[in-house]
A and B are shown apart, each in its own frame.
Chain A
Amino acid sequence: MFPSTQRTYETNIRLPLSFILFGVVAFVASEAILLFSGTSLVQGAFRIPAVWGAIHLAVLGWALMVAMGAMYQLVPVVFLTPIWNETLGFVQFFITTLGVLALSISFLLEMKFVFFAGLLLTLGFVLFFLQMVMTLKNQPIKNMMTLFVSTALFCLLLTVFLGMALSFHFFSGSEIADHLLMLKTHLLFGLTGWFTLLIIGFSYKMVPMFSLAHGFSMTLARYVYTIYVGGLAITFFSFLTNHSTLFTGGMGLLFLGFSLFSYHITTILRKRVKKKLDRPFLFALFAIAIALCLHAIAFLFAVVGNTASFGVMIYGYLFGWIILSIIGYLYKIVPFLWWTHRYSKKIGKENVPTLKQMINEKWIVFSFGLFLVSLIGVILALVISNLPLFYIAQSGMIAFSLLLAGTIISVLWK
């Protein structure tokens, strides 16, 4: 009468938790390093080793490690297939952690070592890529989410190889190809290719799951994918040809693709049963609104030919979209992981807390406010080159990172 299945896809929680806890510590460290780089940052000098060290610690040590940890937990949920090899996951965690630490320290102390640290890191990423490809290969029925996540993984691989080539320039003193072209492509594929496509892909599972939305159409996702990936390709070609009209076209397509994604998410949310959404999830949704604004601004800047402001734009995109999305979903994922570890075997036998009770929502709301005020403060300080404002706002960001670490760790005591 009812076709049944007994397949489960749970991952050993130590694997995602290892990545997440390392990421939280890396976030605090990166914010502290950025504070000490204030003098250079407010003068618009983003391309200095200390800033690179802090940014790579924030992007790789925090955002990417947390994203990888979350993927170890979410891929089985979203794609209904278990992680290919969990032992490889722990090996990959160990190698990637060493690589991130070595790379950040090399940026701060000796640029020539960046290449060797990059080699270690590349090994970690290649293992992660292999793990995910093998896992996705086993997915019984491929869907749009598979396409988003597979393309994101491909972009990650391109970003890593471009990063390796850039570090080789520092190591050898000679250029394989135009350094600026490679740097711009590294940023494009890393931020919009890897992170954005990944978050969009997972949002198509997380948004309906956390809002209990049913009966929505997924047709728009095809157009979102085609237009956004088209925008990525055209922007890349504009870098290759140094063609400003092509660049404007690429930015326009990225904006259009993201606008369509934002609209699609609102149509999904209209079909939700859960009317009062959890705060952390609302923050992840708020991040979509921020990214939409940033895509619009980037397009307008491209139209008027203002490329000088792209450094600040990239900072805003990284923190306001990528990091805020990750924080929002992290506040949902960590309580779930710890709840599963502590209470999964007690459900049905005794009263157990709900996932919402695992985390202090008041602190989350406060920390979100602190994050937003600090982010706006930092961006403003960078735009008007105001050092005192930068120090105040960046101190707020450090306080936020400590609050985040405290909130995450407090879950482990529940």
Chain B
Amino acid sequence: MELKEIVMEQLRTVYDPELGINVVDLGLIYDLRVNDGIVSIVMTLTTPGCPLHDSIVGGVKRALTHLKGIKDVDVQITWNPPWTPARMSEGALKQLGFL
């Protein structure tokens, strides 16, 4: 498995505590790059000013920093484009009773 895939898999352990769904299935990860052990993530949250901002961003960093081959993790939050439910996985939509 490539390091990028390992990182993405690890991000599935980071949950939004309000919804109980991980950040990958919620579609919060917009961009993920791994170069020379440095992970760069551009992600969003379900609403601007989300009160769980620090918790989720910190959780993403903590989940990755201990991985073998990872030297540093940079997480950038963006509101553009804004998150929409269309980014959610089928499993996540089912969990919320939408499907």
**A interface vs B, CB < 8 Å?**
1-6, 8-10, 73, 76-80, 205, 208-210, 212, 214-215, 273-276, 336, 339-340, 343-345, 347-349, 352-356
B84 neighbours in A (Cβ, 8 Å): 214-215
Is the Cβ of B54 less than 8 Å from the Cβ of A273? Answer: no
B55 neighbours in A (Cβ, 8 Å): 340, 343-344, 347
CB distance from A132 to the nearest CB of B (A): 16
CB distance from B39 to the nearest CB of A (A): 13
A347 neighbours in B (Cβ, 8 Å): 14-15, 17, 55-56, 58-59, 62
B14 neighbours in A (Cβ, 8 Å): 347-348
| A352-B17, A354-B18, A355-B17 known; A4+B58 contact, CB < 8 A | no
B59 neighbours in A (Cβ, 8 Å): 347-348
17 CB contacts below 8 A, A to B, read A1-B31, A4-B77, A6-B76, A8-B54, A10-B53, A73-B51, A76-B49, A212-B46, A215-B84, A273-B96, A343-B55, A344-B58, A347-B14, A349-B62, A349-B63, A354-B15, A356-B20
> Within 8 Å of chain A (Cβ to Cβ): is B89?
no
Is the Cβ of B85 less than 8 Å from the Cβ of A6? Answer: no
Is the Cβ of B96 less than 8 Å from the Cβ of A212? Answer: yes
Is the Cβ of B62 less than 8 Å from the Cβ of A80? Answer: no
A212 touches which one: B48, B52, B85 (CB < 8 A)? B85
> Within 8 Å of chain A (Cβ to Cβ): is B1?
no
Is the Cβ of A276 less than 8 Å from the Cβ of B49? Answer: no
Contacts beyond the supplied A6-B76, A78-B49: 4 A-B pairs with Cβ under 8 Å: A9-B53, A76-B49, A209-B46, A352-B15
A209 to B50, CA, bound (A): 8
B15 neighbours in A (Cβ, 8 Å): 347, 352, 354
**Nearest chain B residue, comparing its CB with the CB of A208:** B47
CB distance from A129 to the nearest CB of B (A): 22
CB distance from A141 to the nearest CB of B (A): 10
A214 to B30, CA, bound (A): 18
A180 to B57, CA, bound (A): 55
**B interface vs A, CB < 8 Å?**
13-15, 17-20, 30-31, 42, 46-56, 58-64, 76-80, 83-85, 88, 93, 96-98
> Shortest 10 CB-CB distances between A and B: which pairs?
A275-B97, A347-B59, A348-B59, A348-B62, A348-B63, A4-B76, A2-B78, A344-B55, A273-B85, A354-B20
- Among B31, B63, B98, chain A packs the most CB atoms within 10 A around the CB of B98
B93 neighbours in A (Cβ, 8 Å): 273
B54 neighbours in A (Cβ, 8 Å): 8, 10, 344
- Among B48, B49, B59, B77, chain A packs the most CB atoms within 10 A around the CB of B49
B63 neighbours in A (Cβ, 8 Å): 348-349
A368 to B53, CA, bound (A): 31
B76 neighbours in A (Cβ, 8 Å): 2, 4, 6
Is the Cβ of B49 less than 8 Å from the Cβ of A9? Answer: yes
Is the Cβ of A275 less than 8 Å from the Cβ of B98? Answer: yes
Is the Cβ of A276 less than 8 Å from the Cβ of B42? Answer: no
CB distance from A367 to the nearest CB of B (A): 22
